[in-house]
Amino acid sequence: MSSVILMKVLESSPKRYDRGMKILFFGNLDQIYDRLISDIQKGQKVLDIGCGTGALILKAAQRGAQVKGIDINAQMLEVAKEKAEQWGLEQMTEFQEKGVSELDKEEEASYDAVTSGLCFSELSEDEIRYALRHIKRILKKDGLLLIADEVRPQNILRKIIHWLIKIPLWIVTYIGTQTSTRAVRNLPDKIKQTGFLIERMRFNSIRDFMELKARNRKDKAE
């Protein structure tokens, strides 16, 4: 499932993106995202960071949450808006062309949950630090941070398997789009250091994909 790289090919053409993701994740992504947002309830306010074509955030809207998706790619957002319209979710959804560096414009303690699917792996170290700090600020007390993303396996054997799958994909992507990504390093640690309480972590078998649920503890000393 270590295919974040191939996603680059898809991202360069948002129209193909959704179909490509289905193939890449053998249709599992749907399940993963369903599980990830299973704690979100009707009427809650949710922010999705790097929403892309809306795969994750529209699920939250279907559960009755009031959602906002931000992404820096205008074309992906067009697709997301179109889908929201088709599914009759316009009332529940809002999309803005914004990057994580504009999270400082969001109001303090205003969200019940912040979600992000496959976006942290595209951020720089500086951006991750900045994003986590502001996510903590804009989440309500006991609000949830829900992330699904590529991570780096720790175990040496898994590392080898990970790279065996990854290198051919790297080459394909390099030729196709001349870009590449790297999986996030030590994301759980960074989340803990920011002052979140990690409640659940779930890995795939090669341990290069992670689902994470963390809670914002405002009162607790960091």
Partner 1 sequence: MRIVKYILVSIFETLLRFFPMPCKTGLREFGNPGPDSPVFLTCNYHLTVERVKRALKGMDCYLLVANSRGINVWCGAAGGHLNNHRVVSVLKTSGIEERVNHRSVILPQLAGPGVEPRAVRKKAGWSIIWGPVYAKDIPAFMEKKGEKNQEMRGVKFPPLQRIEMAVMWAFPLSVTAGLLTSLFWPRMNLSLNVFIWVFSFFVFLAFPLYSKWLLWRKFEFLRVSAFLWGTFLVGLLVYSVLLHSFDGKFWLWWGVVSLLVICLLSVDLAGSTPVYKSGLHEDRFFKVVLDKNKCRAAGCCEQVCPRNCFEVDRSHHTARMPRASQCVQCGACIVQCPFDALWFENQKGEKISPETIRKFKLNLMGQRALGMD
Sign of the CA dihedral with 82 first, then 84, 89, and 92 last: negative
Site string for partner 1, 91-120 (x = CB under 8 A): --------xxxx-x----------------
| Amino acid (1-letter code) at residue 161 | I
**Cβ closest to ligand SAM, residue 32 vs residue 139:** 32
Q: Which does 207 bind (CB under 5 to 8 A by kind): ligand SAM, partner 1, none?
A: none
Sign of the CA dihedral with 11 first, then 13, 15, and 21 last: negative
User: Minimum CB separation from ligand SAM for residue 221, in Å?
Assistant: 30
User: Of 9, 60, 71, 139, which one interacts with ligand SAM (CB under 6 A)?
Assistant: 71
**Helices (H), ranges, 25-181:** 28-36, 57-62, 74-86, 125-138, 156-177
Helices vs. strands in the chain: H and E counts, helices first: 8, 7
Contact indicator for 21, 86 with CB cutoff of 8 Å: no
- Which stretches of the chain bind partner 1, using CB under 8 A? 12-15, 72, 74-75, 78-79, 82, 99-102, 104, 124-127, 129-130, 174, 177-180
- Which stretches of the chain bind ligand SAM, using CB under 6 A? 7, 11, 21, 49-53, 55-56, 70-73, 76, 99-100, 117-119, 122-123, 127
